[in-house]
């Protein structure tokens, strides 16, 4: 198992133990897990993002910490939160992260996820000029999510 997976699993366990909230002291966590503090930053910035359903707050200084909160919402609010975070353009990797979050929140099943993944894949947009791909992908993804039942 990679260190980034170990860090992510540790944070997820903290969130589950504390009803969706975790306060992390980066240096202490790095020491506990035997990694460098920048690895903690990497995991937080790549896996605990708004499109993954998290709010991250950071406080600097002697008593500094990183607070991660799992956003819990009803289905309609979760869908709107996800759509708002898509914005006006989205790349393939981020679109697939959004789809994974929809599955993780049990808002869609595997069949819907597969269809969405095909709809946002780079292969689907190969005939579209590169300058338009990410904005078209965002429009299609948002409209598909809005029309899921």
DSSP run (H or E) holding 149: none
Separation between Cα atoms, residue 13 and residue 18, nearest integer Å: 9
- Cα torsion angle, 130, 136, 89, 122, sign: negative
Whether 3-70 and 75-146 share one fold: the answer is: no
pTM score of the predicted model:
0.62
Q: Which CATH superfamily is domain 3-70 in?
A: Transcriptional regulator CtsR, winged HTH domain (3.30.56.130)
Q: What are the pLDDT digits (tens) for 107-130? A: 899 999 999 999 999 999 999 999
The answer for residues whose C-beta is within 8 angstroms of residue 34's C-beta and 6 or more apart is: none
Q: What are the pLDDT digits (tens) for 63-98? A: 568 999 987 777 888 788 788 888 899 999 999 989
What does CATH list as the number for 75-146? 1.10.1200
Q: Where are the domains of the chain?
A: 3-70, 75-146
């Amino acid at each position: 198992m990679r260190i980034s997976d170990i860090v992510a699993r540790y944070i997820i366990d903290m969130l589950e133990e504390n009803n969706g909230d975790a306060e992390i002291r980066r240096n202490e966590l790095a020491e506990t897990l035997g990694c460098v503090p920048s690895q903690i930053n990497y995991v937080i910035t790549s896996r605990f993002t708004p499109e993954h359903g998290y709010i991250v707050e950071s406080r600097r200084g002697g008593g500094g910490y990183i607070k991660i909160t799992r956003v819990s919402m009803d289905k309609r609010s979760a869908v709107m939160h996800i759509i708002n975070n898509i914005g006006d353009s989205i790349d393939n990797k981020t679109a697939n992260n959004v789809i994974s979050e929809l599955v993780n929140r049990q808002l869609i099943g595997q069949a819907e996820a597969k269809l969405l993944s095909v709809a946002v894949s780079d292969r689907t947009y190969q005939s579209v000029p590169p300058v338009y791909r990410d904005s078209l992908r965002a429009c299609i993804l948002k409209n598909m999510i809005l029309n899921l039942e």
